[in-house]
């Protein structure tokens, strides 16, 4: 079985905790896109972990974790992440971690480029992209320019070092144009030796491994980072990630373009949050926003940035479900709404006087106004609910309403961050 777990909204839907929960049924967990620009928070009996690069299955004893070719890997960050988990008693070895030889290496100059461009944009236009400044867009650009370094090159470093002088000369043309100090080949070689060398033993052809695993009948889960609205093609460009966050990309980004997904589980939050800049039609402001942000603990896992928040957005979520081809939904953080006597949802957008429930092209999103509707809240603590029957009627009504409006079945509902704080609905 090949299952994709993907984000329906703007990211931070709680994918990490759902993957952690569902990974029990899987033998392999695979990341297939993105880098350390987002964070998954997982809380289990071993502690609280923030994973930026490692697949969430790393916290399970018998799960093999794969980092696919669609990923961009900051090797220094990865060494740090592995070190922290090891210090917490998590076992990490080539047996349970496999990194694609075709995955791309994020270099310090990509991070520098990201910072230089965000700062330039801030000064020139007052409108930076809200990048996480981890070098993700520059490194994906280099991939398409065919100038990126790949993890497999660590196995044959002398060849890679020979490629470096021209790459460094090319990069310095850009760096100098921004008025920054040029980088040196020596520094880059030292960097690759320091942080690349320790990762060498994990590098394999993940396609061979995954095909074998699949043929042996193993269950493989693909874990996405970010959500549909951050996808490079389908998201709110340019306020998106630079990678494909879409479930259909999973087999390609993992190393098995020959295999087809069995199903796609979409992670959807019971309200909305959006980190960084960009159109966010359902956004709350002022006290309303502060209350929801506090209740939901909406601060970035990777950056600590306060997230923008709003009520559940039917228009964006329906679009997200379509993009992800989601067969079923895990609705997360329902307990965050416990405090409300009345709950708002954004049911439609109003664009140029017309009401619509179709997500429009990015350019006109800024002109869309949200249409809010109110439903009755349950106004009760649901964090202890573990069965459908435990949920108050109003909570069941809220779930049923989202199912009806989004035309998708909600299979799981989470009511707390802990591993067991969830309900299987059918
Ligand atoms: P991801 O990027 O999609 O993995 O999500 P994040 O980890 O960035 O954000 C989700 C946050 O919500 C984390 O702090 C989780 O611990 C927390 N969380 C996940 N599920 C629930 C839930 O059902 N209820 C509550 N209250 N918190 C949750
Ligand atoms: Mg996150």
Residue 43: band (very low, low, confident or very high) from pLDDT cuts 50, 70, 90: confident
Q: Is the domain of 288 the same as that of 418? A: yes
The pTM assigned to this predicted structure is 0.93
Q: State the DSSP code for 418.
A: B
- Residue 162, strand partner residues: none
CA 5 – ligand 2 centroid, Å: 14
Q: Which ligand is nearest to the CA of 9?
A: 1
Q: Is the domain of 399 the same as that of 289? A: yes
Query: Residue 13 CA: which ligand 1 atom is closest?
Result: 3
CA 59 – ligand 2 centroid, Å: 17
Question: Among residues 339, 264, 267, 273, which one has the least CA distance to residue 301?
Answer: 273
Using one digit for the tens of pLDDT, what is the confidence trace for 304-346? 889 999 999 999 999 999 999 999 999 999 999 999 999 999 9
Residue linked to tokens 């998201």: 235
| Ligand 1 within 6 A of CB of 38 | yes
Q: Is the domain of 280 the same as that of 410? A: yes
| Distances in whole angstroms, Cα of residue 217 to Cα of each of 21, 55, 316 | 21, 21, 36
Q: Is the domain of 184 the same as that of 257? A: no
Q: Is the domain of 316 the same as that of 388? A: yes
Q: Is the domain of 33 the same as that of 89? A: yes
Query: Residue 334 CA: which ligand 1 atom is closest?
Result: 23
CA 406 to chain CA centroid, nearest Å:
21
| Ligand 1 within 6 A of CB of 415 | yes
Q: Is the domain of 69 the same as that of 8? A: yes
| Ligand 1 within 6 A of CB of 269 | no
Q: Which ligand is nearest to the CA of 335?
A: 1
Can you give the residue range of the structural domain that contains 124?
Answer: 107-198
Q: Is the domain of 227 the same as that of 87? A: yes
- Residue where a domain terminates, one of 176, 198, 220: 198
What is the SS3 assignment for 263? strand
Number of domains in the chain: 3
Q: Is the domain of 345 the same as that of 358? A: yes
For the domain that residue 231 is a member of, what is the CATH number?
Answer: 3.40.440.10
Please tell me whether the peptide bond between 238 and the residue prior to it is cis, using omega within 30 degrees of 0. Answer: yes
What is the number of other CB atoms lying within 10 angstroms of the CB of residue 287?
Answer: 8
Using one digit for the tens of pLDDT, what is the confidence trace for 178-200? 999 999 999 999 999 999 999 99
| Ligand 1 within 6 A of CB of 153 | no
Q: Is the domain of 418 the same as that of 313? A: yes
- Residue where a domain terminates, one of 265, 289, 320: 265
Using one digit for the tens of pLDDT, what is the confidence trace for 190-236? 999 999 999 999 999 999 999 999 999 999 999 999 999 999 999 99
CA 15 – ligand 2 centroid, Å: 8
CA 169 – ligand 2 centroid, Å: 36
| Ligand 1 within 6 A of CB of 278 | no
Query: Residue 415 CA: which ligand 1 atom is closest?
Result: 23
Query: Where does residue 320 rank: exposed (0-12), middle (13-18), buried (19+ CB within 10 A)?
Result: buried
Q: Are 349 and 356 in contact (CB under 8 A)?
A: yes
For the domain that residue 347 is a member of, what is the CATH number?
Answer: 3.90.170.10
Mean pLDDT of 131-155: 96
């Amino acid at each position: 079985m090949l299952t994709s777990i993907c984000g329906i909204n703007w990211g931070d839907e709680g994918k990490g905790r759902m993957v952690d929960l569902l990974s029990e049924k899987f033998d392999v967990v695979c990341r297939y896109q993105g880098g350390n620009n987002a964070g998954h928070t997982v809380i289990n009996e071993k502690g609280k972990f923030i994973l930026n690069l490692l697949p969430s299955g790393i916290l399970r004893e018998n799960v093999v974790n794969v980092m696919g070719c669609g990923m961009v890997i900051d090797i220094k960050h990865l060494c740090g992440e592995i070190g922290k988990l090891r210090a917490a008693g998590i076992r990490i070895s080539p047996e349970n971690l496999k990194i694609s030889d075709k995955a791309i290496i994020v270099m310090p100059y990509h991070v520098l480029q990201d910072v230089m461009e965000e700062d330039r944009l801030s000064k020139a236009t007052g409108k930076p992209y809200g990048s996480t400044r981890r070098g993700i867009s520059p490194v994906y650009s280099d991939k398409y320019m065919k100038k990126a370094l790949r993890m497999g090159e660590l196995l044959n470093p002398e060849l890679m070092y020979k490629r470096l002088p021209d790459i460094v000369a090319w990069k310095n043309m850009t760096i100098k144009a921004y008025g920054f100090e040029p980088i040196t080949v020596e520094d880059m070689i030292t960097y690759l030796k320091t942080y690349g060398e320790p990762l060498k033993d994990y590098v394999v052809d993940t396609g061979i491994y995954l095909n074998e695993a699949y043929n042996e009948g193993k269950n493989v889960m693909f874990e996405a980072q970010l959500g549909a609205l951050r996808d490079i093609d389908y998201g709110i460009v340019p306020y998106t990630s630079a990678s494909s966050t879409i479930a259909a990309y999973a087999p390609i980004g993992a190393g098995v373009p020959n295999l087809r997904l069995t199903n796609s589980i979409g992670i959807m939050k019971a309200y909305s949050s959006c980190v960084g800049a960009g159109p966010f039609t359902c956004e709350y402001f002022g006290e309303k926003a502060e209350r929801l942000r506090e209740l939901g603990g909406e601060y970035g896992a990777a950056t600590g940035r306060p997230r923008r928040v709003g009520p559940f957005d039917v228009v964006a979520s329906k679009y997200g479900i379509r993009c992800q081809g989601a067969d079923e939904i895990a609705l997360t953080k329902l307990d965050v709404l416990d405090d409300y006597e009345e709950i708002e949802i954004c049911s439609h957008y109003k664009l140029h006087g017309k009401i619509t429930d179709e997500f429009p092209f990015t350019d006109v999103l800024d002109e869309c106004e949200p249409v809010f509707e109110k439903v009755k809240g349950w106004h009760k603590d649901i964090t202890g609910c573990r069965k459908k029957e435990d949920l108050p009627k109003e909570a069941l009504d809220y779930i049923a309403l989202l199912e009806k409006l989004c035309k998708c079945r909600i299979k799981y509902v989470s009511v707390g961050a802990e591993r067991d704080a969830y309900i299987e609905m059918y």
